[in-house]
Amino acid sequence: MNKIKLFVLIGILLSSVVLQAKVVTEENFINDMVYKHGFSKTYLTKLLGKAKVKSDIIKLMSPRPSGKKRPWHKYRKIFVNPKKIKGGVKFWNNNAKTLQRAEAIFGVPAKIIVAIIGVETIYGKNTGSFRVIDALKTLAFHLPRRADFFRGELEDYLILTREERLKPLHQTGSYAGAMGIGQFMPSSFRKYAVDFDGDGKRNIWTNNADVIGSVANYFKQHGWQTGEPVITATKIRSYAIKKLLALDFAPKYTLHQLKQWGLQYFGEEPNHTNGMVVDLKTKIGTAYWLGFKNYYVITRYNHSKHYAMAVYHLAQEIENAK
């Protein structure tokens, strides 16, 4: 065997050892929970033994085939339509005082809070039918590419059910383990959910006040800037399109820099304002937008430019129809 083949073989063997070392079994996880958080090993073994591995969840979490992503004009119709606009107006009217209080305390517009809830669960009508513990067990131990993330979520879920005195086998949510009317992952629940009606509980499943307060707090904690713009239509010089679209998806560039690179923006925001370029495919071609910090904050709820734009558009339509 020559030296090159030997080095290749050694590399393969070492890679295999590293991959095996990263595998965390259910038993390893339970032992860690006992050591780190004082859980009973008997309790967790019995509890996770009752959780089911769901093959349909693995399928739902599989990436969409290449080239199958919906263009913006099709994506928009799913979330910005007469049904969701009408539902948003109704939700706003039914929870007007709570939304007003949330806006006053957290600085997040009522229309943005309402639109998030509309996009996520159609104002609580579709919160998911999977048991959270089934979803998280499945993804924590049977989806290798994201196992670390979901083991962390399972850890937070078990802790929050203990903290909130909830029955861990009874809570339902999405196939990814997102919970309640606002679709909070367990880690987000522990960090950002609030008891907004003062009843001593953080109930994001059936309590609209807690949902509204929690969504508003989530946005505030992620840097929402009260009274500042979200996004505006713009133009780009043809020679600059490739360069500007290759920039990081974050508002880390000043308008002065973006203009120097080919952005055509004639709005009132000062040149030191930070922004980001967003491209969206319409029926007649690509439209370009200038996103500000608040647009980026919306993407912290879901890291998708389409999602953030849908929330923004739905918010505008609801406010106009109210």
Task: Give mean pLDDT, residues 170-183.
Answer: 97
The predicted-structure confidence for 229-263, as pLDDT tens digits, reads as follows 999 999 999 999 999 999 999 999 999 999 999 99
pLDDT at 23 over 90: no
pLDDT tops 90 at residue 11: no
The C-alpha angle 175, 125, 173, rounded to 5 degrees, equals 25
**For range 177-187, the mean pLDDT:** 98
Give the confidence band of 70 by pLDDT, cuts at 50, 70, 90: confident
Q: Which long-range contacts (CB under 8 A, 24 or more apart) does 206-210 make?
A: 206/181, 208/91, 208/94, 208/95, 208/98, 208/124, 208/181, 209/95, 209/98
The domain spans of the chain are 231-291
Does the pLDDT of residue 6 top 50, yes or no? no
Alpha carbons 321 and 123: distance in angstroms, whole number: 17
Average the pLDDT over each of 3-12, 93-102, 226-235 and give the range with the smallest value: 3-12
| Token output for 151 | 């083991």
Residue 66: the pLDDT is 61
Percent share of the chain, pLDDT over 90? 89
Whether pLDDT at 98 is above 60:
yes
Pair of tokens at residue 267: 């709005």
Which pLDDT score is estimated for 67? 56
- The mean pLDDT of 155-172, rounded to a whole number, is 97
Provide the annotated active-site residues: 120
Mean pLDDT check: name the lowest of 2-6, 121-125, 207-211, 283-287: 2-6
Q: What are the tens digits of pLDDT across the range 119-144?
A: 999 999 999 999 999 999 999 999 99
Output the 3-class SS for the chain: CCHHHHHHHHHHHHHHHHHHHHCCCHHHHHHHHHHHHCCCHHHHHHHHHHCCCCHHHHHHCCCCCCCCCCCHHHHHHHHCCHHHHHHHHHHHHHCHHHHHHHHHHHCCCHHHHHHHHHHHHCCCCCCCCEEHHHHHHHHHHHCHHHHHHHHHHHHHHHHHHHHCCCCCCCCEECCCCCECCCCECHHHHHHHCCCCCCCCCCCCCCCHHHHHHHHHHHHHHCCCCCCCCCEEEEEECHHHHHHHHCCCCCCCEEHHHHHHHCEECCCCCCCCCEEEEEEEEECCEEEEEEECHHHHHHHCCCCCHHHHHHHHHHHHHHHHHC
Q: Residue 4 has what pLDDT?
A: 44
Q: Tell me the C-alpha distance between 202 and 192, whole Å.
A: 10
- Residues 215-223 have a mean pLDDT of 98
Average pLDDT over residues 255-274: 96
Higher pLDDT: 12 or 24? It is 24
CA separation for the pair 226, 239 (Å, rounded): 35
278, β-bridge pairs: 289
Alpha carbon distance 29, 18 (integer Å): 18
Give the pLDDT score at 30: 97
Is the pLDDT at 3 greater than 80? The verdict is no
Residue 69 has what pLDDT?
77
Asked whether 189 and 152 are in contact (CB, 8 A), the reply is no
Order of strands across the sheet that contains 274-282: 253-254, 274-282, 285-291, 231-236, 263-264
Q: Letter for the amino acid at 154?
A: L
- Region 178-189: what's the mean pLDDT? 98
Mean pLDDT of the chain: 93
Between β-strands 130-131 and 172-173, what pairing exists: parallel, antiparallel or unpaired? antiparallel
Residue 46 has pLDDT above 70, yes or no: yes
pLDDT reported for residue 7: 41
Average pLDDT over residues 286-298: 97
CB 229 within 8 A of CB 269: yes
